[in-house]
Amino acid sequence: MAQTDRDGRRSGTVRPELKEIVGEAGVVPVRAEPEHAREVFERDGVVILPGGGDDPETLVATAARLLGGRLRELFGIRLQGGVDAPALGLHSDGAFVTVDVHGRATRLRDPDEDYLFMHCTAPAPSGGDSVLVDGYALVDALRTTRPDLHAFLTGVDVDFFGAIATPRRGIPTTPLVRRMVEHTRGGRRAVRASDYALPVPRAPHWDEHVRMIEDWADVQATVFEVAPRFRLGAGELLALDNYRFLHGRDGFHGERTLHVLSVRSTDAFE
């Protein structure tokens, strides 16, 4: 059963009976040369590009090259990594961070960022391998094996950040209500993961909704354990459809440096 810490963050539990259900959802991306990367990206929704040096600004050029005229909005390149970090479980990127700049609300991040670009500046000496899960395949597997959970994910609203014990600066206190699986107006499917989801305020079936949210967390923990690993080398860049794929990494020892750029395209949620 999923556990919740003092901050309200939920972590799932690996459940052996789920392993056969989720075992086919793990993905190892294709490595493609730049001239073929867009074709692979459009086909698979994910691609690894070869080493391009240690300048993270290559993220911007790569986003423009792979998305072309569909690229609408860039968010700032952010440094990630650190020294001797524990495993980071499956998640989908996107954050609700709004600040006031001279009296005008400005978004530094958006919960509906739909593409993600990660540049491995320096891999860890030990550990830090990446995990990638095809959310579409995962949800489709649940349709027949766990129809109750599938119906919840696709049909019931949740308060996406509701469990955060103390709202962080820049995060609105008004509930962000959405479904874990839903479609854009153009028909594009988004599969989401949130460590802080709760039932919507005053939900009439609160306990049942909590159980389903925890079951979804257990599914993620289980597929994280059984999914294949792959390792990004120095200078390599991973591009992925953030609406389709959930991603995470193993713990690592030593220093690891990664730069991340998230973007919105013309077919993202408005």
Question: Is residue 208 predicted with pLDDT exceeding 80?
Answer: yes
Q: Is residue 220 part of a domain?
A: yes
**% residues pLDDT > 70 (the chain):** 99
pLDDT on residue 170: 67
User: How many CA atoms lie less than 13 Å away from 197 in the CB half-sphere?
Assistant: 29
Structural domain count of the chain: 1
Q: Is residue 105 part of a domain?
A: yes
Q: Is 130 within 8 Å of 243 (Cβ atoms)?
A: no
First to last CA, the chain: 35
Q: Is residue 270 part of a domain?
A: no
Query: Nearest 5°: CA angle at 240, between 235 and 244?
Result: 160
User: pLDDT digits over 140-180, tens only?
Assistant: 999 999 999 999 999 999 999 888 877 777 676 788 899 99
pLDDT on residue 51: 77
The mean pLDDT of the chain is: 93
Bridge partners of 81, per DSSP, are: 257
Q: Is 89 within 8 Å of 12 (Cβ atoms)?
A: yes
User: pLDDT digits over 106-138, tens only?
Assistant: 888 899 999 999 999 999 999 999 999 999 999
Residues 6 or more apart in contact with residue 71 via CB below 8 angstroms:
63, 64, 263, 265, 266
Q: Is residue 59 part of a domain?
A: yes
Q: What is the pTM of this model?
A: 0.94
Q: In angstroms, rounded to a whole number, what is the distance separating the alpha carbons of residues 140 and 154?
A: 11
Q: In angstroms, rounded to a whole number, what is the distance separating the alpha carbons of residues 88 and 37?
A: 27
Q: State how far Cα 270 lies from the chain centre.
A: 18
pLDDT on residue 166: 76
Question: Measuring CA to CA, which residue among 144, 174, 145, 142 is closest to residue 161?
Answer: 174
Query: Nearest 5°: CA angle at 67, between 66 and 73?
Result: 130
Question: Is residue 16 predicted with pLDDT exceeding 90?
Answer: yes
Phi, psi of 193 (to 5 degrees): -130, 135
Q: Is residue 117 part of a domain?
A: yes
User: pLDDT digits over 61-113, tens only?
Assistant: 999 999 999 999 999 999 998 999 999 999 999 888 888 899 998 888 899 99
Q: Of 7-11, 19-23, 249-253, which one has max mean pLDDT?
A: 249-253
Amino acid (1-letter code) at residue 42: E
pLDDT on residue 56: 92
pLDDT on residue 32: 97
Q: Is residue 102 part of a domain?
A: yes
Q: Is residue 148 part of a domain?
A: yes
User: How many CA atoms lie less than 13 Å away from 232 in the CB half-sphere?
Assistant: 31
**% residues pLDDT > 90 (the chain):** 80
Q: In angstroms, rounded to a whole number, what is the distance separating the alpha carbons of residues 40 and 30?
A: 8
| CATH code of the domain covering residue 43 | 3.60.130.10
User: How many CA atoms lie less than 13 Å away from 62 in the CB half-sphere?
Assistant: 33
26 lies in which domain range? 3-265
pLDDT-based confidence at residue 9 (cuts at 50, 70, 90): confident
**Mean pLDDT along residues 36-48:** 97
